[in-house]
Amino acid sequence: MKAPDGNKLAILNALNQGGFISGQLLGEQLGISRAAVSKHMQSLQAMGLDIFKVSGKGYSLNNSVGLLEQNKIQQYYQGLNASTAHIEVHPIIDSTNSELMRRIAAKQTLDSGTVVVAEMQQAGRGRRGRVWQSPFGANLYYSYFWRLDDGLQAAMGMSIAVGLAVYDTLKALYQLDIELKWPNDIYLNKEKLAGVLVELDGQPQGPCQLVIGVGINLQMPTSYSQQIDQAWTDLSQHSQQIDKNQLVAHLTYHLEQRLAQYSQTGLHDMYQQWNELNAFAGQCVELNTGHRSWRGICEGIDPQGGIRIRQDGEVKSYYGGEISLRKAVQ
């Protein structure tokens, strides 16, 4: 699927103003036929946008979708007295994480704070090869590049710091009290709101490069929600004032703050706060590696970011990106 051309983006901007707009008026504004307008609408619907038509009124967006605008993001970001990040906006991309990982593989020079955001991902992915549903304009697809000089071992608890940055952002903008699920999920009222995917490139003892991916559900279309195999929610169900550009700026700012803290003291000053937000605190959970699984009581995380599980009166910490954690079915 190609990125929206100028006409599709112009139609999107018109729909984004709210209310109805006729195909005839759109055609006149763009210098194209009503049939061409109709084809553009069908193409936008195929991307996941919830557009409906009412005879005699025209077209309307079921939900107002704010488009990403580089200038607005920059204004919000500078309003936070921040200036170090370089933020790129893409209409459609295979995956924001994959884009940055390709640049790393190609030995391109990347500055810490390089951010890639997109309106749509054609191959969005989560942990363990899962698909991340990524319809056009509906959610936030975001990746942040960061260089860490202390080696891969030092990056072990990174998803903990990133989860707290997402918490900081959603608390500051929407006053939401989210919970965190080890190692990389953000929950609201026991339903998944966002996820984190941290990918690494480097040596055990030398400098390493990190790509920090964050996906936040904003206004998930019904047609896509049916493909999600777990309880989920989106921001539109909890806030009427969603500005995607403001969200990008604040997430970038809070990530910078948490990463600076992490580079100084690791998780020493963060793990106790994470434990206060632990979605499974004191609950019976199941750990799964794909080859084996076991149960225990979730006791939070240790100062290195490992999950602490109590079994038969003994508490052990478990680490690793390929371990999944879920509430045990009784």
Catalytic residues: 127, 192, 326
Q: How far apart (Å, rounded) are the C-alpha atoms in residues 323 and 260?
A: 27
Count of CB atoms within 10 A of residue 271's CB?
20
Element (H, E) at 43: helix 34-46
Please report where in the chains the tokens 């309880």 appear, as a residue.
Answer: 231
For the residues of 152-189, what is the DSSP string, one character each?
GGGGTTHHHHHHHHHHHHHHHHH----EEETTTEEEET
For Cα atoms 9, 15, 17, give the angle at the middle one, nearest 5 degrees.
Answer: 110
Q: How far apart (Å, rounded) are the C-alpha atoms in residues 162 and 267?
A: 11
For residue 198, the SS3 value is strand
For Cα atoms 125, 131, 135, give the angle at the middle one, nearest 5 degrees.
Answer: 90
- Cα 93 to its chain centre, rounded Å, is 14
Q: How far apart (Å, rounded) are the C-alpha atoms in residues 9 and 11?
A: 5
Closest to 262 in 3D by CA, of 115, 171, 164: 164
